[in-house]
Amino acid sequence: MKNNRKNAIPTLQIENDRFIVTEWCFAPGAETGWHRHAYDYIVVPQTTGPLSIEFNDNSQIIFDLFTGQSYNRLAGVEHNVINANDFEFVFVEIELK
């Protein structure tokens, strides 16, 4: 389904034979777009607040993130991340090759 959301802005910080480090900046209402990680990854929030995560089975969750409190996920799950806040949201994503 087509929507009118803005795209989140990825900024590649590091890519080498072991890691990919990307900063993601989300304007209010922006999204990553549908994607699937090829590698396990860690997210380090730079902002506190909730993000909405859509899954390809049409389910959706609200995930509360807190500045500096990292979490990790395994590769392979297709999803779309949306900033439902009325402020910019930023996190750093570290993919482990």
Q: Which CATH fold topology does 9-96 show?
A: Jelly Rolls (2.60.120)
Q: Hunting for tokens 């590769």 — which residue is that?
A: 75
**Confidence (pLDDT) at 1:** 47
Residues of the chain with confidence (pLDDT) below 70:
1-2
Where along the chain do its domains lie?
9-96
pTM: 0.92
Mean pLDDT of the chain: 95
The helix (run of H) or strand (run of E) holding residue 40 is: strand 40-45
Print burial letters for 4-32: b (CB count within 10 Å at least 16), e (below 16): ebeebeeeeeeeeeeebbbebbbbeebbb
